[in-house]
Structure 1
Amino acid sequence: MTTPAEVLAAQRIYAPNLQANTSLSSTKFFAACFAGAAAGILGLANGAGFALFVAATALTAGVLHAVNCKGRPGKYFQGGVWELANPGQDNAFTFVLVWTLFYGIVHVYD
């Protein structure tokens, strides 16, 4: 059974904003994929690969902060800047998966 507060909170969700936030999270996902591919192709290992992931996450968060959120991420995300910069567990695992895939494909006979 839902309480009146839950119903009121559900009515505050605006569908176009929810769709825009979903596209921002997919942008972070693709950034993790491309960073993993770059780390694998470059042959980065251990800390250097994760440093590339951190740099790619920071760059993506900075671009999203400046372009999509217009400098006010609190308006678009409930967690504000932390929610925007948080890579998320799924993106970290995606990075590692793509990193090892491309590392194995490119550097198989090294």
Structure 2
Amino acid sequence: MAEQADLYKYFEPTVQLNTLALSNIHTLTSWGVGTAAGILGLTGWNGFIFFLINWVVISGLVFFVKCKSKPSVYFKSGFMDIAGSTVMNTLLSYVLVWTLMHALVYVYD
């Protein structure tokens, strides 16, 4: 009976809107962080560690500021939606912008 009650707990259009907003936050911040990593000249593992640190900071800010430490109100999977939902797509965007900015700043010196 508890599973049936969980089916009606969330209004699906609102959950989809929250997920879209979260995806936009992660994507836009990955572009900014990728730009910063490229301009700073980070290469190799340093760039990926920089991404990981920023991913944790952004996820923490979304968790504490936007969700007010209650992500299960806004997302079906709670914290897992915030921390792991779009990590691979965001990582690909980050690497694209990181390498572009690094090439623009350092290759043509």
**TM-score of Structure 1 vs Structure 2, range by shorter chain:** 0.7 to 0.9
What TM-score does the superposition give when structure 2 sets the normalisation length?
A: 0.82
CA distance, structure 1, for counterparts of residue 15 and residue 56 of structure 2: 23
Write out per-residue CA displacement over residues 71-101 of structure 1, whole angstroms, 9 at most, x where no aligned residue. 0112212222122112521111000000000
Aligned length: 101
Pairing 1:1-110 to 2, within 5 Å after superposition: 13-86=11-84, 87-110=86-109
Where 1:74 maps in the other structure, the secondary structure is helix
Where 2:52 maps in the other structure, the secondary structure is helix
1:70: Cα distance to partner?
0.8
Q: Percent identity between the aligned chains?
A: 32
1:102: Cα distance to partner?
0.2
Where 1:83 maps in the other structure, the secondary structure is helix
Where 2:35 maps in the other structure, the secondary structure is helix
How well do the aligned residues superpose, as a CA RMSD in angstroms? 1.8
CA distance, structure 2, for counterparts of residue 105 and residue 80 of structure 1: 39
What TM-score does the superposition give when structure 1 sets the normalisation length?
A: 0.81
**Unaligned residue ranges in structure 1 (runs of 5+):** 1-8
Write out per-residue CA displacement over residues 14-41 of structure 1, whole angstroms, 9 at most, x where no aligned residue. 4344323311210011111111111100
The runs of 4+ residues in structure 1 deviating greater than 3 Å are: none
**Unaligned residue ranges in structure 2 (runs of 5+):** 1-6
CA distance, structure 1, for counterparts of residue 31 and residue 108 of structure 2: 23
Given that residues 59 and 83 in structure 2 are in contact (C-alpha distance below 8 angstroms), is that contact kept between their aligned partners in structure 1?
Answer: yes
Given that residues 15 and 76 in structure 2 are in contact (C-alpha distance below 8 angstroms), is that contact kept between their aligned partners in structure 1?
Answer: no
